[in-house]
Structure 1
Amino acid sequence: MIIGTVVNASGLAQARLMANSVKRQMPFAKVLVCLVEETQAGTLPDVDWIFTAREISAYLGFEDFDNYIFKFNSLQCGTAMKGRLLTYLLEAFPGEEHIVYLDPEMYVFKPFNEIEQMLSYYDVVLTPHHLEPSDAWDCSREIGTLQDGTFHSGLVAVKNSQEGRNFAKWWMTIIAGDFGGQPNGIFTDQPYLNFVPAFFNAGVLRHPGYNLAFWNLHENGRKLYWSGDGYCLTHYVSLHCVNFSNFLGLLDSCIDTYVPHDGAFRQLWSEYKQNLDWLYLEHPALPWAYDYFYSGEKIADETKLRYREAKINRSIEGNPFYLSNHSDF
């Protein structure tokens, strides 16, 4: 099994924690980091390979990397490269039967046995954001999930089969944003996963121990406990991985709302943050290389949107990083 993830330089601390957790629980798994920066990061503990997004794109035959990455902001670098990374891993490692994409904020507590079992029947395995419906009088959570995507793109498993490769290439193409009407928001790769069970031989992993995160802490089947020899969920269901994304402070907010003051998840989150703070000393937050023109001018989000719309309607020649926010497209 190969575990792949995508980060910019500011996400290397999270990627190291994720890789360490993978190696402790699945020592024979390999970890590959796709770094969306101009320069390499050298070697990292517990990481088997590091390649830049440009290198991976070149391997796949894409020579338009500057025009491609210019359309995305730093929060979307994972969105930009997930499909390309999966396609690369399936092609570059034909001897590896199972490929898993994990967000760098993931932390692994148990081997992915259920995923490997499902990949013996399915070519793609998806994990839903929610496993329990909301109260009948309140469908706001479902409405929000329909907009953001029913399945979480932070954990996607693929078999190295023709069907698996077809899925990866389809996802890579559709999240490129080279067409009108792309979903709004930051994580524009997720809504397309809604179609995967219809388009491909895909299975849905309904195990509550995968993808524990701020968006499902409220669910009755995902209450976290310490059982004496490890963490488990309601009815002693094993905990396999947690997504420690604290996007917009939502994890802190949901902990305050749904987790008791002496709850196990608070302790787990505190330990993770302490380890992360230590690694931030080695990997501090840095400006993203692709957030700036070559002149040093910061690229405005509005400029990226204008460029994306212009690329949809006509061909634009040349490297956009030589331009400025005042350029006409």
Structure 2
Amino acid sequence: MKLAFTICSNNYLAQAKILGDSLFDKNPDYKFIIGLCDELTEDIDYSFFENIEIVPVSQINIYCFDEIIKKYDIIELNTSIKPSFFKYFIEKYKDLETIIYFDPDIQIMNKLVLLEEYLLEDDVLLTPHILNPIGVDNFSPSENLFLNFGIYNLGFLALNPKSQNVADLLNWWEEKTLKIGFNRVSEGLFVDQLWLNLAPIYFNKVKILHEYGFNVAPWNLHERNAIHKFEDEYIMEDKSKLVFYHFSSYNFTKPELFSKSYDRYNSVVLSKEIFELYNQYHHKLIHNKISFFSEIKCCYFKVEDKIIKKKNLFEVVVYNITPPFINKIIKKIFKFNK
């Protein structure tokens, strides 16, 4: 059995459906599951997700789940449960041959056979954010960004489910994500991703993928800007096939922007096929009811809880950067508002 899964809250179900549909289109022998970091709601007709199984996180019995929903924001929560979902599926499906995680905003563009072949020899497959050096300039991303947030992008991770080596990695990784899976880059913490910098050191049979066609995204588009279509396949400049594209942070309300965070791809000429990829993805989002799903709030985060968190964060930041006499004034203002 071959399994691919993603994790998202109800507000990302349009993206997750595109992922699942594209997986079935190119790899019909796979099972696809959405790990729902949310609760099922009567507001959604889940029959819309034909042939896609949805497993709410409450069903996988994470021992400290009541604790992590109190201490994590929605991004931290979604990423912290990734090792736990891996462990749950490996335990449940004893006949698993391959298990792959994809972020919900990924689209599968080709067969996954090369990944399956790699897993016959290796236990862990990782994709670096970039594969070539970057000079010092004013474009983003720069190399230091990846040193802060992670060398490898954890929007993709493929594992050998039968390996004790993988079981050891998941136990180690799960402890980190459930206990200290915070987005606190200044403390050396960035959700689930930063930890995997250590995987090639701590664990065996970790393969770093160097083909351009794996995990193409806005942060590496400057080095993978020449994508050309031949018959029904997209071919990269290194002659590898485009296997999956990561439409990270794409905002369907601003289709002219490929990314709100990166602009390095503006320093090169992009092939017309890249614009075509974004155009078709935009239309798929609309077709899969992105305007409806994107407005749904995660049940684990109430509006008043978010306001309190933001206020506390603002108090901490302001207190640390302003003189004492101004802090006294700010404290009085907060006290008055409360």
**TM-score bin, normalised by smaller chain:** 0.7 to 0.9
Contact 1:217 1:258 in 2 (8 A): no
179-188 or 236-245, which moves further after superposition?
179-188
Q: Does 1:20 align with 2:29?
A: no
Aligned equivalents of 1:179 and 1:244: distance in 2? 24
Q: Which moved more, 1:82-91 or 1:169-178?
A: 169-178
Give SS of 1:175's match.
helix
Partner of 2:145: 144
Partner of 2:295: 285
Q: Percent identity?
A: 25
Matched residue pairs, number?
301
Residue 157 to residue 28, structure 1, CA distance change in 2 (3 Å):
same
Change (3 A) 1:305 1:179: farther
Contact 2:250/2:259, CA 8 A, preserved across alignment = yes
The answer on 1:230 being equivalent to 2:233 is yes
Which runs of 5 or more structure 1 residues have no equivalent in the other structure? Answer: 307-325
- CA distance 1:137–1:255, shift in 2 (3 Å): closer
For the residue of structure 1 that corresponds to 2:158, the secondary structure is: strand
4+ residue segments displaced more than 6 Å: 136-140, 303-306
Name the structure 2 match of 1:84: 84
TM-score (norm 2): 0.79
Residues 79-103 of structure 1, C-alpha deviations (whole Å, 9 max, x = no match): 1221111111111112102110100
Distance verdict in 2 for CA 1:289–1:260, change over 3 Å: same
Corresponding residue for residue 177 of structure 2:
175
Q: 1:215 to 1:250 in 2, by over 3 A?
A: same
Q: Structure 2, unaligned stretches of length 5 or more? A: 252-256, 315-334
Structure 1 residue 19, shift from structure 2 partner: 0.1
Aligned equivalents of 1:70, 1:250: Cα separation in 2 = 33
**TM superposition shift of 1:300:** 3.3
Matched residue, 2:317: none
Higher radius of gyration, 1 or 2: 2
Letter in 2 for 1:50: I
Distance 1:181 1:156, change over 3 A: closer
Q: Structure 1 pair 302/235, CA: closer, same or farther in 2 (3 Å)?
A: closer
> Kindly tell me: are residues 178 and 96 of structure 1, through their superposed partners in 2, closer, same or farther at Cα, counting changes over 3 Å?
same
Contact 2:131 2:210 survives alignment (8 Å) = yes
In 2, Cα distance between equivalents of 1:23 and 1:142: 35
Task: Provide the TM-score with structure 1 as the length reference.
Answer: 0.81
2:4 and 2:30 in contact (8 A); partners too: yes
Q: What whole-Å deviation, never above 9, does each CA across 1:97-135 have from its counterpart, x for those lacking one?
A: 211010000100111122111111111111110111113
Q: Aligned-pair distance for 1:304?
A: 8.6
Stretch deviating more after TM superposition (3-12 or 33-42): 33-42
Cα offset, 1:168, TM superposition: 1.6
Supply the distance in 2 between the matched residues of 1:272 and 1:180 (Cα, whole angstroms).
31
Report the Cα distance in structure 2 between the residues aligned to 1:50 and 1:37, rounded to whole angstroms: 11
| 1:286-305 aligned within 5 A | 286-292=296-302, 298=306, 300-302=308-310
1:218 aligns with 2:252: no
Q: 1: CA distance between counterparts of 2:183 and 2:109? A: 39
User: Residue 53 of structure 1 corresponds to which residue in structure 2?
Assistant: 57
The one-letter code of the counterpart of 2:242 is: L
